[in-house]
Structure 1
């Protein structure tokens, strides 16, 4: 039953998976040129998902969702988030695709947090994976950071259970510097209370967005009452935003917060809402593996 539920939710992902690119530093022309990054598409553009209606899923309590966000707007507040958040590029079965990610504090100074489907999907680990912090319309102001390893939770790796759609990458040094020494880092926390106010960021690349700008939503969150135990928020981000950070205690003036989830999926019969996995013990174990790698 667990695998069936995960398969149904995966089939209705409306926030895209995204994949990355090639070594950031090479003597020859880099794989992820500005044109290649602009050409990368959200993963949901590459996977034909069947149409699912509310009648096809288990019925949850008839709850009224109340969430009043500032949503779907370009982030103009500046601050550290404009450096720590970025786009993720990779190849999924040979196709150029994109997600979002965020640099967090870590012992090795090299951890990027993203969604599980942004490192592995349908049994395939993505290749040519790079993180581009502060991405700006094909430009990489802080460089391209190639992953030396990508990881995910045991539940996502084994059965792509949407409740554990968390991925992380450990990136190699660039010009002899570590990632967070260059762009800074956001905090990260686990096992936090649910139903709090949060901010979420990402680089949606599916219409009406084009992946060129950092977009955000903010407001109260609720707990999904349909198929998952995920956080939910009223937010109209689209494919490509997957893997972007959800923050608690976000300070608009400094652009800093404590990351406690990532953009994961949306139901196709519930437009305007986005969901992200709860960062519990399994996400914490993943983080400990990543920062020790």
Structure 2
């Protein structure tokens, strides 16, 4: 999640990005061989500062307490099992010479290879991340379902142009292994766009900044609201920290089966509003991004 814990330096040198319709695309050579358990454990959580003006905050901060719905969980280890323990996972990549981490989730797609994450988990401060891999079902350094290297990473044109938090959505098209896709291997979750606001949702991720260490799948659950400050994003009571960025938000989530409909990702938090997470609304721009990734 984008929070106030640290300022991240500029990212690593780009590979071969191109403009492909209304989607920003980065093509790379898939290679997950170097991501050892120790390297994954030591990857730093991606994090940054989001600045807002004091004047703007003073005008609307007083109304926020009434917007925050109750929460069942604000950041607990997920022990319920089900499909989410396979489709959700950690994302690892290299940025400015440093190993970093986010979270992601496999969704149903035409090619069976689409992982959804946050825009800043594929491209940040004007440069694409490299050495990008997805580890579904990550468990304290173990990769029970393999490591899936990205062949392409993509983001919305709004994130590409000026890192608009309303469109902090990224996707990756990952390699096949032995003729099998990541969807063949771990299954998928549904994805939807232009959905209702104010739904009860579950968010999942692998927070790695204190007090978490990135070792286990963590979740938050409760009602959501629309951000009244700088974005039109979803908000939720949640104390997940850096490293959870890109993890899925599900509507219609069934705790018994671990399945739901993905409608957002963990994106950012305000420095003055602790323990509240925000995620972008999946509208037409996110749908276009998904359609491009699904057809790659």
TM-score in terms of structure 2 length: 0.87
Q: Is there any run of 5+ residues in structure 1 with no aligned partner, and where?
A: 1-9
Partner of 1:59: 59
Number of equivalences: 275
State the distance in 2 between where 1:189 and 1:79 align.
Answer: 20
Following TM superposition, the consecutive aligned residue runs of length 4 or more in structure 1 with deviations greater than 3 angstroms are 12-17, 19-25, 49-62
Q: How does 1:42-191 map to 2 (within 5 A)?
A: 42-44=45-47, 49=49, 54-55=54-55, 57=57, 59-60=59-60, 62-63=62-63, 64-69=66-71, 70-191=73-194
Matching of residue 246 in structure 1 with residue 249 in structure 2? yes
Matching of residue 269 in structure 1 with residue 246 in structure 2? no
State the distance in 2 between where 1:58 and 1:290 align.
Answer: 41
1:61–1:204: structure 2 CA closer, same or farther, 3 Å change rule? Answer: closer
Q: How does 1:192-207 map to 2 (within 5 A)?
A: 192-207=195-210
Q: RMSD of the alignment, in Å?
A: 2.3
State the distance in 2 between where 1:187 and 1:82 align.
Answer: 15
Question: Any conservation in 2 of the 1:16–1:242 contact (CA below 8 Å)?
Answer: no
Question: Any conservation in 1 of the 2:165–2:280 contact (CA below 8 Å)?
Answer: yes
Helix, strand or coil: the match of 1:258? strand
Per-residue CA deviations over 1:174-196 (Å, capped at 9, x if unaligned) read 22210100000000000001011
Q: Is there any run of 5+ residues in structure 2 with no aligned partner, and where?
A: 13-27
TM-score in terms of structure 1 length: 0.88
